């Protein structure tokens, strides 16, 4: 299967909006002065902001017709992330997504995808495993 890649420019207001929407209270995610006092160049993205910067790559991977997911019967199965370098506003995150496997168990099909995200300096920021189940 083909790999899918996309680059996402992390904006300061997107970080704040995400933090507010998810109830994040860490001042480093909301207040520029607090982030800079903590040693960051700009607002720190909450860890699960990974779902935002991975979306432009993982979406097309899941929708790839060669993968063959029946979306009418699909449910979200699991999602796992491993975080590395912090992500801050101003970063450009490139995510590569790939379909890793399809397995059948108990009449269900399990579609597993992986993502690998790096910043503009080539530093690894996040690795993800995404599982979708088709009933």
Instruction: Print the SS3 string covering 49-105.
Output: HHHHHHHHHHHHHHHCCCCCCCHHHEEEEEEEEEECCCCECCCEEEEEEEEEEEEEE
Please say if the pLDDT value at position 2 is more than 70. no
Segment 78-117, tens digit of pLDDT: 999 999 999 999 999 999 999 999 999 999 999 999 999 9
Domains: count for the chain: 1
Per the structure, the complete domain to which residue 70 belongs is given by 4-134
pTM score over 0.75: yes
DSSP letter assigned to residue 121: T
Q: How confident is the model at residue 1 (pLDDT cuts 50, 70, 90)?
A: low
Q: What is the pLDDT of residue 119?
A: 98
- What CATH number did the domain enclosing 96 receive? 3.10.129.10
């Amino acid at each position: 299967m083909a790999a899918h890649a996309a680059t996402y420019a992390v904006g300061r207001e997107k970080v704040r909006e995400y933090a507010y929407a998810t109830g994040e209270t860490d001042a480093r995610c909301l207040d520029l002065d607090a982030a800079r006092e903590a040693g960051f160049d700009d607002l720190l993205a909450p860890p699960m902001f990974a779902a935002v910067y991975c979306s432009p790559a993982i979406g097309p991977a899941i929708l790839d017709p060669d993968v063959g997911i029946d979306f009418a019967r699909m449910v979200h199965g699991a999602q796992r992330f491993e975080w590395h370098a912090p992500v801050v506003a101003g970063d450009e995150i490139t995510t590569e997504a790939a379909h890793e496997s399809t397995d059948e168990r108990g009449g269900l099909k399990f579609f597993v995808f992986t993502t690998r995200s790096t910043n503009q300096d080539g530093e690894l920021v996040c690795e993800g495993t995404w599982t979708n189940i088709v009933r």
